[in-house]
Chain A
């Protein structure tokens, strides 16, 4: 069955360089640097990436950072809490626009 997302495609990510090498190289260098040990540990960054993957709903990133989080020693509970953080921010981002709606209602009504 053909689908837009194929799990096998994740393994081909580096092949984006076949069409535009210079930019791909710059991106992957940057990506590697971002996830290296820094003021945040590589372990902490993995859990942040897992949360962000859910916020942007990227199935490739969810697969990749679920594996990576397990391999960095995070528990199922910790991983789900991180997903809830993403959910709370996404939910909050919608709800906070309720204030804009209220402002507009106030503008339009007596």
Chain B
């Protein structure tokens, strides 16, 4: 499995993805769906979560990855950009959470320094850890202890509680390594009652279907992972696959694109639309560009208004902006809704 970029695939250009999403197939426009429930234009409610994609480099190449991440990706956030981000976080106490994602964020050479600096600011820190990175190299074996020391909330993808479905999405052998990594996190207290160390797992469907009900699936995961591997964790977040990047390519190759879009559109839920994560999140790209969410970031759809780069951060401009929408947004409003923190309703 190679990244779209390594394949020189047309969808490695975000403009080609947007053109495809905007082709007229008789689907309603996402903006019109918001209009029908009186929430257009979509406006922010605040900036509670500061999500930073600190690099597209990853030790895995997952079939559904919206980042098109992989070992070949060299886009990495510099210390200089991180310092500007630190200053913004420091000067804006309403930012409660700093959410680090990638790629594998741990592969950024400044990762350990940056987490130490953020932890001095007393904000909640989330690291979206792919689990296998902990075992990928000796220098990462310290991650569970490092996360514990800085009270990092660990959020990790595990598409299913069996190897078949996990490996079909994330690569051969990923399930086994993920289980070992979770056990290492459990060993230092993660996921255990009263430890204060949060370990949340992420389920996303290994194919062209919507996630199961979050609470029911969480129960199944807890029962199965405990019974088979003695694993504990706090919560399961169910996330819908967005029709962009590698997942878009998968949908087209398997002739599932139209049915999947139909499914997302039919399941449009106004309550989920009100609670979309872009209303309280900012997403910062590896190069400091500002986006409404990580998906817009991958489509290179910058925020509207003047504050398009972190060095030009202007809270007022960002709080009054109109959130940029496109057809992929139906992924966040289908059924129970979807966000980086799971279902939204």
Q: When each residue 64-102 of chain A gets 1 if its CB lies under 8 Å from chain B and 0 otherwise, what string results?
A: 000100111101100000000000000000000000000
A70 touches B162 (CB 8 A): no
Interface residues on A, range: under 10
Which residues, 35 to 60 on A, are CB-close (under 8 Å) to B? 43
B209 touches A71 (CB 8 A): yes
Q: Name which residue of chain A comes closest to B164, CB basis.
A: A76
Q: B32 on the interface (CB 8 Å rule)?
A: no
Q: How far is the CB of B40 from chain A (nearest CB, A)?
A: 27
A-B residue pair count with CB separations less than 8 angstroms: 26
Q: B301 on the interface (CB 8 Å rule)?
A: no
- Would you call the interface of chain B mostly helix, strand, loop, or mixed? loop
Residues of A within 8 A of B205 (CB): 70-71
- Distance A73 CA – B205 CA, assembled complex (angstroms): 9
Q: Name which residue of chain B comes closest to A11, CB basis.
A: B262
Residues of A within 8 A of B216 (CB): 43, 72-73
Residues of B within 8 A of A75 (CB): 160, 162, 165
- Distance A11 CA – B265 CA, assembled complex (angstroms): 13
Residues of A within 8 A of B217 (CB): 73
- Distance A88 CA – B155 CA, assembled complex (angstroms): 43
Q: Which of A11, A71, A76 contacts B212 (CB 8 A)?
A: A71
B212 touches A72 (CB 8 A): yes
Q: Which of B162, B164, B209, B220 contacts A67 (CB 8 A)?
A: B209
- Distance A43 CA – B210 CA, assembled complex (angstroms): 14
A71 touches B210 (CB 8 A): yes
Q: Which of A11, A70, A71, A73 contacts B220 (CB 8 A)?
A: A73
Q: How far is the CB of A41 from chain B (nearest CB, A)?
A: 8
Q: B105 on the interface (CB 8 Å rule)?
A: no
Residues of B within 8 A of A72 (CB): 212-213, 216
- Distance A91 CA – B165 CA, assembled complex (angstroms): 31
Q: Name which residue of chain B comes closest to A74, CB basis.
A: B212
Q: When each residue 229-252 of chain B gets 1 if its CB lies under 8 Å from chain A and 0 otherwise, what string results?
A: 000000000000000000000000
Can you list 18 pairs linking A and B with CB atoms under 8 Å apart? Answer: A11-B262, A67-B209, A70-B205, A70-B207, A71-B205, A71-B209, A71-B210, A71-B211, A71-B212, A72-B213, A73-B212, A73-B213, A73-B216, A73-B217, A73-B220, A75-B165, A76-B164, A76-B165
